[in-house]
Amino acid sequence: MQILEVSGLKKTYAGRLGCHPVTALKNVNFSVEEGEYIAIMGESGSGKTTLLNILAALDHPTGGRVILDGKDLSEIKESAMAAFRRDNLGFVFQEFNLLDTFTLEDNIYLPLVLAGQLYRDMYQRLIPIAARLGITDILKKYPYEVSGGQKQRAAVARAMITKPKLILADEPTGALDSKASDELLRLFAEVNELGQTILMVTHSVKAASTANRVLFIRDGEVFHQIYRGADTVEAFYQKISDTLILLATGGKQA
């Protein structure tokens, strides 16, 4: 079942002090099936961050449509947008975005608290998630008391606990060492195997090679896409690397 449809997406920012307008997205089109794990790649300035912000309903497109689970984001009233975002989207950020004055447990509960959930219901949701992510024994600790990898696991738990239609991850391995990155990517693969749809923006070929499909953005458009299919992670890594070279040298897709 199709969970996300992006069609004719455009975004232009007004120029300042007489400068020409800046076009971040020109004509982006793609769809995401329920249960897919997709990586989005491209050079700095290609439009990846703008695209992610629009998909997260944190920015508005100049043209085109984003339809999530049958709902056109442009038709959702601003007063209802925060609740829609909370109920349908999970977020994993590069810098974790955890509150240092809250325990990891309370950080994870935060979106449910904002939704008015009862503690016993939140706790019942958290138990299996914490066990799967291996953070049960550190839930009472504060972010400054745990490692970067443990912080990111807590951030993944916070993204999962609302049972979102889509998890959006922005450079989730960017602040992690290689061991913690490997652990997080393994967790993403496990979460995806459970049926969770994931859309990840990354510069890391290693991270992208764990996804099932990679979209390449160049100059505000989808330049190319490749599927892993039956490829090993190593073979898919090489395909991604070859496509990035094509992007960097201005080549055309095959």
Whole-prediction pTM value?
A: 0.90
Residues of the chain where predicted confidence (pLDDT) is lower than 50: 254
Per the DSSP assignment, residues forming a β-bridge with 6 are 30, 66
Which of 213, 235, 232, 233 has its CA nearest to residue 224?
Answer: 213
For residue 176, the tally of other CB atoms under 10 A from its CB is: 21
Give the pLDDT confidence score for residue 42 in this predicted structure: 87
Contact (CB, 8 A) for 187 and 156:
yes
How far is CA 231 from its chain centroid? 23
Q: What is the pLDDT of residues 115-138, one digit of tens each?
A: 888 999 999 999 999 998 899 999
Residues 6 or more apart in contact with residue 131 via CB below 8 angstroms: none
Give the pLDDT confidence score for residue 18 in this predicted structure: 62
| H helical segments located in 176-222 | 178-193, 205-208
- Block residue for tokens 């490749």: 226
Give the pLDDT confidence score for residue 90 in this predicted structure: 92
Which of 155, 117, 120 has its CA nearest to residue 135?
Answer: 155
Residues 6 or more apart in contact with residue 58 via CB below 8 angstroms: none
Contact (CB, 8 A) for 11 and 59:
yes
Per the DSSP assignment, residues forming a β-bridge with 167 are 90, 198
Give the pLDDT confidence score for residue 38 in this predicted structure: 97
Torsional class of 45: left (φ above 0), alpha (ψ -120 to 50), beta (otherwise): left
